[in-house]
Amino acid sequence: MKHLISINGLTLDEIEEILKLSEKLKRQQKEGIQHHILKGKTLGMIFTKSSTRTRVSFEVGMYQLGGYPLFLSANDIQLGRGETIYDTAQVLSRYIDGIMIRTFKHSDVEELAKYGSVPVINGLTDLMHPCQILADLFTVYEHKGTLKGLKLAYVGDGNNVANSLLHGCAKVGMDIAVAAPKGYECDKTIIAEAKEAAKASGSQVILTEDPVEAIRNADVVYTDTWVSMGQEAEKEQRIKTFLPYQVNGELFSKANEDAVFLHCLPAYRGYEVTEDVIDGPQSLIFDEAENRMHVQKAIMAILMNQ
């Protein structure tokens, strides 16, 4: 494990290593035990796409690991504009010990990893969101005690979150059902990769346009915003298209009685999910948000301590 670009690039053993270390670091943090695993090391955090959770969780996490987080906004770095990604990767590799990047183009992350000599962590691209999904898997594991054999239903836009959920669930042996309207399906290459991984783990990948079919017998129900950053011009059309995919009390009741609800946030109550579900007793959204930090700490510790 040299980088974290895609969950599909991880083995099951590597995923389990991340989850076990996340559990340990979370317990130590709660008990006030210092774990300065990355003392003296610096993480460069490149943001061409802004975020609350990604910046705070990586910055605080790196601080708790004893290292230094260096924030680099689109104004601070000329990634792929005034300077080539090759040059940026080469130069940053001489200064810092790891790079986290949250950006639009997935190819930017791949090129940074290809041309640099330090570990690269994908904090989000338009195609994938691996750190989020590893945090989701950790959250489910905490509350259910297992992952293999469970069913996760994702309802809504077949976006970067849905793509990485396909990879993650298939790798760990969870069944996954994705309900998305026609024209908003997940990436075809990622679907094929997930189906291949599911064969090895013994899980199922179910793709449908029917949210009721997807959510039936689900142990975990997941949704995401209908209008992501950069899609504001499509807002009116997207709301009209996705309205039948709203996770409300009636739809949620089709899942298993002890099903839990996840949402990567930010959430728009009354659109993709109703208040009775997202603020209800089965919602784990704030555990999920907290676990971003613990899981990312595990990822940084593994990658930057080699």
Report, as residue numbers or ranges, the catalytic residues: 102, 129, 132, 224, 264, 292
Which residue is listed with tokens 């996954």?
A: 176
Q: Which two tokens stand for residue 258?
A: 């002890």
- 117: amino acid identity, one letter: S
Distances (CA, A) of 83 to 6, 25, 75, 128, 178: 25, 38, 13, 25, 39
Place of tokens 């690039």: 9
Distances, alpha carbon 96 to alpha carbons 41, 70, 74, in Å:
7, 9, 18
3-state helix, strand, coil in the chain (%, to 5): 45, 15, 35
HEC-encoded secondary structure of 69-125: EEEEECCCCCECCCECHHHHHHHHHHHCCEEEEECCCHHHHHHHHHHCCCCEEEEEC
Residue at token pair 């945090």: 135
From the list 161, 184, 189, the residue with the least C-alpha distance to 176 is: 161
57: helix, strand or coil: helix
Dist. CA 211–CA 54, nearest whole Å:
29
SS3 of residue 4 by DSSP: strand
Core vs surface per residue 18-53: b (16+ CB within 10 A) or e = bbebbbebbeebeeeeeeebbeebbbbbbbbbeeeb
Euclidean distance between CA atoms 245 and 278, whole angstroms? 15
